[in-house]
Chains A and B, each alone.
Chain A
Amino acid sequence: MIEVRNLTKHYGAVRAVNNVTFSVEAGDILGFLGPNGAGKSTTMRVLTCYTPPTSGEARVAGLDIRKDSLEVRRTIGYQPESTPLYGDMTVRGYLDFMGRLKGLPGARRRSAVDDALQETGLTDVARRLVRNLSKGYRQRVGLAQALVGDPKVLILDEPTVGLDPRQIREIRSLIRGMRGRRTVLLSTHILPEVSLTCNKVVIINEGRIEAIGTPENLVGEMQDTLEARAVVQGDRVALEKAVAAVAGVKSVTLEDSTVEKRFEAAIRIDRSVEARPAIARAIIQAGGELFEFRTQGMSLEDVFLKVVSRGAPEAAEEDNHGA
C-alpha cells in the first residue's frame, strides 16, 4: 500500500532522511520509531505530498507522490504533528470543512462526518467549539479529521503525544481496531506504543533505517540470551548448584530477597534451548520451594537503545578520550 524506495530528503545541508526504503502492506499498522529529529515527520511529509523528496521514489496505493499528488492526497488521511486545528470552529464544522476540502459532496460528507465522529467518540461534543475542548478531545478531533471520508491510508504523526494514560489507551485501542481495515503508518518515540498497537516496526535514527520487522522478531533477533528471575526458598548452595547443572543455563546467582529465607535468583538461559521446565524441576528436586518464576524478554526498549546507540560508540569514545 505504501512503498518507499531510496528516499532522501535534504533541508539545505541537513540530511533529514537518508536513503530510506520500506513498504507497508494493506491492512498493516506500521510503527515508525525513533528519537526526536530522526526523520519520522519528514518522511511523513514527503508521503503526504507536503514537500517533495530530494531523490528516491514513493508510492501510495500504487500512485506516485510526484505525478499523482492530488490523487495521493485524496487517498491519505493525515494527522500532522501537534495536531493543528481551527479553534474558532465547532467540532462538526471543522470536520465538515475537512470533508469539503476532500471534495465530498453534501449527503456523503454528512455521513462521512457522522462516521468519523462516532468512531472517535466525539458525537457528544460535536457542537462545541474546538478551542474549548480538553487536550484529549482535541487530539481525537485531529484523528477524526484524518478519518473523514474513510481514507484507505492513515498517516498519524505522534497521535498520542501529550495525552494522559487513559486517553493514550483509548487512542491506541482505536488504532489497533483498524488493523486489516486500513493501512496505518504512525510515528512515535514511545516504545510501548509500538509493541501495543503495531504489527510492524521501522526503527529510524538520524535519517537512516536501523531495523525493520515485527516487534516480536526484532526483540528475538537482537538477543541470544533469555533472562529469568525466580523467587526460591531452601538451601542456597544446593539450589545454585542444581540450577547451574541444567543444560542451557549460562549462569545463575542467588541473592537475599526482601522476604526472610527466600532468595531472588537471576538466571541467564541460552535462547536456543528451552530450559525453563527443567529449571523448575531442578529447584523442586533439590528440596527447594518455587514462589515465582518469570522470564524477562529483552524489551523493545532495549532493542531500540541498542540499535540507536549502535551508530554512537565512536562519538562516545571520543568523549571518553576527551575526558
Chain B
Amino acid sequence: MAREASLGGGMGPILRREVQAYLTSPLFYVIVGIVLLATSVLFVFLVDQFALFSTPGGREYRPPGVELNATQFLIKNSYYMIHFLLLFTLPILSMRLIAEERKSGTLELLVTNPVRDWGLLLGKYFGALAVVALLLALTLPYPIAVQLLGGQPEWAVVASCFAGLILVSASYLSFGLFASSLTESQVVAAVLSYVGLFLLYIIGNLMSNSGGEFVRRLSEAVSIEPHFQSFTSGKIALIDATYFILFSLFFLFLSAQVLGMRRWKL
C-alpha cells in the first residue's frame, strides 16, 4: 500500500510489461540488427584502416592529424557511429510508448487502475531505456575485440563512452515519450521526434553566425551536439551529464502535463 501511495506508484509492473513488449516485438530486433550491422561494417573498416596505417608501407596513407591510437581511432569512431544510429532509431522505438495505448484505449485501462501518472510514465521510460541499455551492451564485443587484437583499449574511455550513450539515449527517449504522448498516431509521434531532435541537435550550429552573443551562447547551451562530445575524452564532465539529465527531466515533466490534460476543466 505504501509503495503505491508514492509518486511513482505502479511503475514496476509497467516497466516489466514494457520490456516484455519490446523483447517480443520484431521491431526491437530489426533495430538491433541495423545497429549491429552498421557498426560491425564500420568496425571492420576501421580495423582494416588502422592495420594499414600501422604497416610501414601504409603510414603515408594516414591523413595528417590522425593519431595511431586504438582507443582514439576505433572506439571513438564507433561511438560516433552508434550515437548517429541512436538518433535515427530511438524515435522509432519510442513512438509507440503512449500513442499506441491511446489508440487502442488501453491508456484508459491503465490510469483507471491504482497507478499514478508518474508511475506510468517512469515505467514506460525506464522500460524503453532498459531495452536500449541492452542494445548498447550488445556493442561491447567491439572494445573486447580491440583488446583481443592487442590494441589495449583505454577502458575508462570505453566506460565513459557508454555512459555518454546511455545519457544521450535517455534524452532522446524522453523527447520521444513526450512526442508520443501528444498523439495517438505512432507515425506522427516519430516524425515529431525526428524534427524536434534534429532541431535541438543543430540549433547550436544554426545560431552560431546569427543573433547576438547571448542568443549564440544560449543556443549552444541548449543544443545537444556540444554536450555529448566530451564523453569521448574519458572524463565525464559534470556539466554535460547534468545537461542530459535535465533534458530528460524536462520532457518527462512535459509528458506528465500532457497525460494530466484529461483532468483539465475546460
Contacts and interface: CB of A to CB of B under 8 A. Distances in A.
B21 A88 contact: yes
B110 A51 contact: no
B115 A10 contact: no
Interface string A237-258: 0000000000000000000000
A33 B128 CA distance: 42
Contacts of A50: 108, 111-112, 262
A82 interface: yes
Contacts of B265: 10, 52, 54
Contacts of B14: 101
Interface in A117-149: 145
A129 to B, nearest CB: 10
A12 B3 CA distance: 36
Given A52-B263, A52-B265, A101-B113, A80 B105 contact: yes
A85 B106 contact: yes
Interface string A33-52: 00000000000010011111
A216 to B, nearest CB: 33
A192 interface: no
Contacts of A81: 105
Interface in B8-60: 9-10, 12-14, 16-17, 20-21, 24-25
Interface stretch (A70-78, A275-283, A299-307): A70-78
A11 B266 contact: yes
A154 interface: no
Contact of B108 (A84, A97, A101): A84
Interface string A82-104: 10111011000100011011110
B29 to A, nearest CB: 14
B140 interface: no
B17 A70 contact: no
Given A52-B265, A101-B10, A101-B13, A78 B112 contact: yes
A45 B111 CA distance: 11
Interface string B101-144: 00011101111111110000000000000000000000000000
Nearest to B104: A84
A88 B20 CA distance: 10
Contacts of B114: 70-71, 73-74, 101-103
Contacts of B67: none
B21 A103 contact: no
B24 to A, nearest CB: 6
A84 B3 contact: no
A98 B113 contact: yes
B24 A88 contact: yes
B1 interface: yes
Interface in B181-231: none
B5 interface: yes
A45 B105 CA distance: 13
Contacts of B1: 103
Contacts of A52: 263, 265
Interface residues of A, number: 32
Contacts of B24: 88
Nearest to A80: B108
Contacts of A80: 105, 108-109, 112
Contact of A97 (B17, B104, B266): B17
B21 to A, nearest CB: 6
Nearest to B108: A80
Contacts of A103: 1, 3-4, 10, 114
B106 A48 contact: no
Contacts of B17: 86, 89, 97
Contacts of B16: 97, 100
B128 to A, nearest CB: 16
Given A78-B112, A98-B113, A70 B4 contact: yes
B105 A82 contact: yes
B109 to A, nearest CB: 5
Nearest to B113: A101
Interface in A1-60: 10-12, 45, 48-52, 54
A88 B4 CA distance: 26
B140 to A, nearest CB: 29
A106 to B, nearest CB: 12
A291 B31 CA distance: 77
Nearest to A83: B105
A100 B105 contact: no
A30 B3 CA distance: 34
B10 to A, nearest CB: 6
Contacts of A45: 108
Contacts of B112: 48-50, 73, 76, 78, 80
Nearest to A155: B112
Given A84-B109, A88-B24, 4 more contacts: A49-B112, A51-B262, A51-B263, A52-B263
6 contacts: A50-B111, A84-B105, A84-B109, A85-B106, A88-B21, A100-B16
Closest 8 pairs between A and B when the two form their complex, measured CB to CB: A84-B105, A100-B13, A101-B113, A48-B112, A84-B106, A74-B114, A73-B114, A80-B108
